[in-house]
Amino acid sequence: MELHKSGVKRPLLAFDLSALPPNWQGYHATLSLYVEFSDGGATAARAYEVRRPWREREATWNLALAGEPWAHPGANGLGADPDRAAEPAYTATLRIATGWARFDVTDMLAGWAADPAANPGLLLVGAGPASYRFYSSDAAETDLRPVLEISYALPATPTSSPTPTSSPTPTSSASPTWTPSATWTATATGTATPSATGTATATPSATPTWTATATGTATPSPTWTATDTHTATATTTPTATPTATPVWFRQYLPWLGR
């Protein structure tokens, strides 16, 4: 497959992500293409995410599928129903005569993970003084075919961490109760004593004497009763802490290239 310096030949590539587990989360992606031939000089190779479905053996400069054209020839449509993204996900400057050329396509991962089945791949567009030819998925040298490497992880697994909760503990506080104590008050009672007059007739007269009787009055004395107060005691409850370990997905086949 050829990346022409004038942009009149543009490689289309698509890849199968069905081997990835469900709910994978992408971290990094690298596309590696082996340069079979170059006529020399530095050339900018721009990688665009394709937005329109296409099929190998049917895609041409004018058609995405048999009987279904691109919005603009060369997959250049950028309108309401675009052929590709308006901006490249990555631009690599190629300077090698032969060997591996690598493209960081991490920016495309979000769309691939959201709907792997609908992934239409990417388009390479060249601009510069040199043209490059890469090994395709049809190459007899299988180890030189295009390679996609994705670093991904599965959703996080919850782990436990402690959080404090409150539990009551009893403490004592004083509240008064009333008990009686005795005090003394005086009351008068009368007795008769004789007094002399000119006659021997006695008349009684009262002379008070004092005797004590007890009456009760209340005075407070404290007693102790228990009331509840709350203090915090830490107990452990589980909360989710995400953990994820990236792993690598390496895909040689099936790549599609023209």
Per-residue pLDDT of 128-151, as tens digits, reads 899 999 999 899 999 999 999 988
pTM of the predicted model as reported, rounded to 2 decimal places: 0.62
Q: What is the structure's pLDDT at 166? A: 56
**pLDDT tens-digit profile of 78-112?**
989 999 999 999 999 999 889 999 999 988 887 77
Q: Which carries the bigger pLDDT value, residue 52 or residue 237?
A: 52
Quick one: pLDDT at residue 158?
A: 63
* Distance, CA of 149 to CA of 102 (rounded, Å): 11
Confidence of residue 214 (pLDDT cuts 50, 70, 90): very low
Given a cut of 50, whether residue 159 has pLDDT beyond it is: yes
CA-CA distance, 1 to 59, in Å (whole number)?
13
| 130 neighbors 43 (Cβ within 8 angstroms) | yes
- Percent of the chain at pLDDT > 90 equals 37
- Name, in order, each residue with C-beta under 8 angstroms of 60's C-beta and a sequence gap of 6 or more: none
Give the span between the Cα atoms of 88 and 251, in whole angstroms: 22
Alpha carbons 165 and 176: distance in angstroms, whole number: 34
Report residue 80 as tokens: 């309401």
CA of residue 203 relative to chain centroid, distance: 113
Q: Write down the pLDDT at residue 114.
A: 77
Per-residue pLDDT, 24: 80
**Stretch 241-249: mean pLDDT:** 48
Predicted confidence band of residue 161 (pLDDT cuts 50, 70, 90)? low
Confidence of residue 204 (pLDDT cuts 50, 70, 90): very low
The 10s digit of each residue's pLDDT in 58-78 is: 999 999 999 999 999 999 999
pLDDT at 119: 80
